[in-house]
Amino acid sequence: MPELPEVETVVRDLRPLLSGRRLASVQVSMHNLRRPWVKAWATQLVGRRVEEVRRRGKWIVIALDGSLFLVIHLGMTGQLTVVPGTEPVANHTHLRIDLDDGRAQLRFRDVRRFGSATLFTDAAALERFFEKSGLGPEPFDLEARSWREKLRGTDRALKAVLLDQRVVAGVGNIYADESLFEARLHPGRKASDLSAAEAERLRKAVAKVLKRAIERRGSTIRDYVGGSGLRGGYQEEFRVYRRTGQPCPRCGATIVRERLAGRSTHYCRQCQRR
């Protein structure tokens, strides 16, 4: 599933391609995504101008004039790109929006259909949606004291805490593993056992890893591409994720994998001792 760096890359690619453009027509496939598409939304979108493209957690928010917000979640295999209108339509394309004169199209493709496209008709409705989902703060906005209190308040494993979108928004399996390696912390340790120094080390590690991944346009494992169709490059810099049996880049010990928080978890037993 695309995580924060991948979603941020899509947003940064789309921003110059969409900002200021009008939505000329909307075509929707007959197949439902994770959240059903309401037929009236297509009519409401036509003629609207794109004012802003931003990210919240793993959600893409396209703000339109008239206080409308088209909110996209990429799910596991979603791709949101701007392409020439004459480009053949790939299978599993569920949403096509002509821009201006139709020479370019915004297309949402999702093979497994775990993604979604939802229209909110005012800012309050959008805010209520994020509040109801319990979406936590952005990783770059984590206040040190609040972060320590959240860790002290749970006996869950660190890996589970990092995956909890209510604690910190946007982090998934890849960057949880990479951040814990950066912080030299075992993914199975209880969050409440961390010292203040270790909690701060982890807070900074999460931000550092995510920023570097954004610089490299995220990680392309299978389906992910940015908003311009380009692949990510951070997968070439993985230090533990998907490197089971390979030497640790820090100490040379063997990277291991085990199941934690319901997910495959990769770490170095030497650098990340329990």
Write the pLDDT tens digit of every residue in 47-68. 999 999 999 999 999 999 999 9
- Asked about 128 being catalytic, the answer comes back as no
- Residue 25 CA, chain-centre distance (Å), reads 27
At residue 223, does pLDDT exceed 90?
A: no
Beta-bridge partners for 97: 26, 106
- Residue 205 · residue 182 · CB < 8 Å: yes
The pair of structure tokens assigned to 24 is 């000329």
Q: Which residues pair with 78 in a beta bridge?
A: 110
Q: Report in angstroms the alpha-carbon separations of 202 from 26, 148, 159, 191, 259.
A: 44, 10, 11, 11, 21
Q: Is the pLDDT of residue 228 over 90?
A: no
Residue 274 pLDDT class (50, 70, 90 cuts) = confident
Q: Residue 213 corresponds to which amino acid?
A: A
DSSP 232: P
Domain with CATH 1.10.8.50 in the chain: 139-268
Q: What is the pLDDT of residues 142-185, one digit of tens each?
A: 999 999 999 999 999 999 999 999 999 999 999 999 999 999 99
Predicted pLDDT at 106: 98
pLDDT tens-digit readout, 88-115:
999 999 999 999 999 999 999 999 999 9
Whether 3 is a known active-site residue: answer yes
Let me know if 39 is a catalytic residue.
no
CATH 3.20.190.10 in the chain, residue ranges: 4-132
Q: Whole-angstrom Cα distance, residue 167 to residue 243?
A: 27
Q: What is the pLDDT of residue 1?
A: 73
pTM for the model stands at 0.95
Which fold does the domain 4-132 belong to in CATH? N-terminal domain of MutM-like DNA repair proteins (3.20.190)
d(Cα 14, Cα 11) in Å, to the nearest integer?
5
For 139-268, CATH gives 1.10.8.50
Q: How confident is the model at residue 200 (pLDDT cuts 50, 70, 90)?
A: very high
Q: What whole-number distance in Å separates Cα of residue 200 and Cα of residue 152?
A: 12
For this structure, is 222 an active site residue? Answer: no
Q: Which of 21, 189, 263, 269 is catalytic?
A: 263
